[in-house]
Amino acid sequence: MTLPDPNANPYIWATLITNSGYLPGVLTLNYSLQKLGSSYPLIALYTDKLDPASLQALHDADIPTLQIENLSPAATPNLVHDKRFLDTWSKLFFFKLTQFKRIIQLDSDMLVLQNMDELMTLPLGSSSFASTHACVCNPLKKAHYPASWTSENCVFSSFSDASGIHGPSCKLGLSKCNSGLLIVEPSIDSFTSILSALEDGDATESYMFPDQDLLADVFHKNWLSISPNYNCLKTYKNCHPHLWDLTKIKNIHYILSPKPWDVDRSYNDESGTFQLWWDENDERLGLAEPC
């Protein structure tokens, strides 16, 4: 499908896809945005790792695509525990796409529940980008996570009002964002800074959460924090129940494995959120009537 003319519509949603395993996520993410009447298109950014069949499936769904370069650091961290992060460096390429005035990057394992178009006109001021804080509770108690990732250091443990568009200051807690949602106004200067950081092998080799850790270093405490309702991790239902309100949550993020499309309805989903994705996907496939 032909890319939208940046001169006519310089504001876009974008998602990165590098393998067929995330194709169902992209298709249903796009469906959820369209169903909610977003005024802005979703563009699927892909690398040469994506197989032709998946690329054709995107075209068949009328999702515009744009091939980008693979980004990789001078030294790669040991991601044996989190292979899901192997390709996330390439999300940083969004900062280079200056043909667009604003790009809102959404991970493909997200489901939009309410229209979020207001983010397209959110003033960034002097901030380099906007995002939500990372939840550093480590609710699954993964042994390889940093020792600093505790509920005591998580800003959401003491944040009580997520109803507005803004979140707790980026200067609080560990000052790390969750790159599942990034509001970016592309800039060659910003992208040059990112490329320079990728050449620092000593730093990149230590990154456990590759693109997130790099953003925290390059744009240290210079990003705008938005409400967790725009990037609500499925784990919040249990570790931050005071923030869990499905009437206010705008976007659910299905972090970790399995993804909803990798299991059927017999799966015991402790978060209680998979049902939402399954129902939306059934609508997309024409197996259920739209709600």
CA pair distance 167, 190, nearest whole angstrom: 23
Half-sphere exposure of 274 (CA within 13 A, CB side): 17
Determine the residue type at 152.
Answer: E
pLDDT in tens, 166-215: 999 999 999 999 999 999 999 999 999 999 999 999 998 888 888 999 99
pLDDT value at position 80? 43
CATH number of the domain encompassing residue 233:
3.90.550.10
119 within a domain of the structure (yes/no) = yes
32 within a domain of the structure (yes/no) = yes
Which residues form the domain of 252? 11-284
2 within a domain of the structure (yes/no) = no
DSSP annotation string for 14-59: EEEE-SGGGHHHHHHHHHHHHHTT-SS-EEEEE-TTS-HHHHHHHH
pLDDT value at position 82? 60
pLDDT value at position 75? 82
pLDDT in tens, 131-144: 999 999 999 999 98
Longest dimension (CA), the chain: 53
Burial of 27 (0-12, 13-18, 19+ CB in 10 A): buried
CB contact set of 20 (below 8 Å; sequence gap of 6+) = 50, 51, 53, 54
210 within a domain of the structure (yes/no) = yes
191 within a domain of the structure (yes/no) = yes
Cα 286 to Cα 32, 108, 276, 281, 283, distances in angstroms: 14, 21, 15, 9, 5
Characterize the bridge pairing of strands 42-46 and 110-112: unpaired
The H or E element spanning position 197 is helix 188-198
Characterize the bridge pairing of strands 129-133 and 224-225: parallel
Number of domains in the chain: 1
291 within a domain of the structure (yes/no) = no
228 within a domain of the structure (yes/no) = yes
